Amino acid sequence: MSDRIKILGVPVDMVNYAEALERFKKFIEKDGVSLIVTPNSEIVVNAGKNPDLMSAIEQAEMVIPDGIGLVYASKILKHPLEERVTGIDFLGKSLDYLSKNGKTVFLFGSKPGIAAKAAEKMEETYPGLKVVGTRNGYFKPEEEEEILAEINNAAPDLLCVALGSPKQELFVLKYKDRLKTKAAIGVGGSLDVWSGELKRAPEFYRKHGLEWLYRFIQEPSRYKRMAALPLFMLKVLFSDKSQTK
């Protein structure tokens, strides 16, 4: 078990890509559902206000640091994370592993048509990958049983849930005991990127931790959400630095 630190009370595993993937492989081999969450600074701030989200993250089997803000915060807190492990890159590595080992994935979430398009692109990128089902992420509460049955009929090794946070984490937690899958990961807008609907930030923005800026340029309506990063950094600076374990 790797080390876990707390950033503003939210647990984060001190894993790099290789370690995260090793743990993922173990999840796929063992019984029960392992929840993987990928918080960025916005999600950390939200968890402080939403006890259900906080509890979901606390119960997750793996919490990967998807967000440059978390890496900065870990340095301020004197428990530096080795690197940022983005949800979308981690997903790519997981799919690569699944494709080479005859394992399956189900894509649940995003607007109608997106998951199917993402599935096509994934199968092209990772030959041998078996996407055993797709389902859009817009549903009424009374449709949840049907969705659960759809997922369980496919019994995927990995369930990708793209409902945005906290919906995706809360969905998995609610049905954790009934889901027939080995691992479930909240992937936010990753299916939009995979489908080609949303462009991922070019290398320059990624390398300099400026993905948030690129995303803002693409979707200026998200400006309120962008305020989360500076707010988060301020909170970390003024937080009690002894509360990191």
Applying CB under 6 A, the residues found at the interface with ligand UDP are: 109-111, 137-138, 162-165, 167, 188-189, 191-192
Nearer to ligand UDP, 158 or 163 (CB): 163
DSSP strand E in 85-152: where?
104-109, 130-135
Least CB distance from residue 66 to ligand UDP, whole Å?
Answer: 9
CA distance 7 to 21: 22
Give the number of other Cβ atoms within 10 Å of residue 125's Cβ.
13
- Tokens of residue 68, six digits: 């440059």
CB of 49 to ligand UDP, least distance (A): 15
Nearest distance, CB of residue 83 and ligand UDP, angstroms: 19
In whole angstroms, the minimum distance from the beta carbon of 181 to ligand UDP comes to 18
Least CB distance to ligand UDP at residue 244 (A)? 25
In angstroms, how far is the first alpha carbon of the chain from the final one? 14
Question: Of the two residues 93 and 222, which places its CB atom closer to ligand UDP in the complex?
Answer: 222
Question: Of 2, 20, 4, which Cα lies nearest the Cα of 12?
Answer: 4
Please report how close the Cβ of residue 165 comes to ligand UDP at its closest, in angstroms: 5
Q: What is the distance between the alpha carbons of residues 66 and 143, in angstroms, rounded to a whole number? A: 31
Q: Which of 213, 236, 176, 194 is nearest to 107 (CA)?
A: 194
- Least distance from ligand UDP to the Cβ atom of residue 110, Å: 4
Report the distance separating Cα 133 and Cα 192, nearest Å.
Answer: 16
Q: Between 77 and 170, whose beta carbon lies closer to ligand UDP?
A: 170
Residue closer to ligand UDP by CB (options 68, 163) is 163
- Pick between residue 28 and residue 57 the one whose CB is nearest to ligand UDP: 57
Q: Which residues contact 126 (CB under 8 A, 6 or more apart)?
A: 95, 96, 98, 99
CB atoms within 10 A of CB 108: 26
Q: Give yes or no for a contact between 68 and 92, defined as CB atoms under 8 angstroms apart.
A: no
Q: Which is nearer to ligand UDP, 137 or 156 (CB)?
A: 137
Q: Which is nearer to ligand UDP, 157 or 192 (CB)?
A: 192
